[in-house]
Structure 1
Amino acid sequence: MTPNLRTTLIFSGLICLIGAAFYPIYFRPLMRLDEAKKEQAINRAGVVQDMQPPGLKVWSDPFGRK
């Protein structure tokens, strides 16, 4: 195996690994907004937004349009 081919395979594998890690974290919720909003509502059911530490912004919906 030539050094250039080996280097290419190593970097391609690294990029694939990073892509596979980012898919469920970032891309899947963006493609399924309704499902992600339902999960988010369940996960944040007990969060009281009135109590914020000083200096922090009040939480807002990350899926909301700007």
Structure 2
Amino acid sequence: MTPKLRTALVFSGFISLIGAAFYPIYFRPLMRLEEAKKEQAINRAGIVQDMQPPGLKVWSDPFGRK
């Protein structure tokens, strides 16, 4: 294997690992909005939004339109 090919394989493997890590975190919820909204509603069911520390913005729906 030539040094350039080895460097290209290491670099492309690193980029692939980053892409594989970001897929379930970022891209999957964007592609399945309804499923992500349902999961988010279940996960945040017991959160009381009135109890925010001073100076922080109250949580809003990240999937809502701006």
Both structures adopt the same fold (TM-score exceeding 0.5): yes
Pair 1:26 & 2:29 matched: no
What is the percentage of aligned positions where both structures have the same residue?
Answer: 89
- 1:52 paired residue number: 52
Aligned-pair CA distance for 1:60: 0.5
Q: 1:65 and 1:7 mapped to 2: Cα distance? A: 43
The number of residues matched between the two structures is 66
How far apart are 1:65 and its partner, in Å? 1.4
Partners of 2:24 and 2:65 in 1: how far apart? 21
Match of 2:6?
6
Gaps of 5+ in 2: none
Give distance in 2, aligned partners of 1:59 and 1:5. 48
Runs of at least 5 residues in structure 1 that lack an aligned partner in the other structure = none
SS in 1 for 2:38: helix
Counterparts of 2:60 and 2:14, CA distance in 1: 34
RMSD of equivalent CA atoms: 0.5
Structure 1 runs (4+) greater than 3 angstroms displaced? none
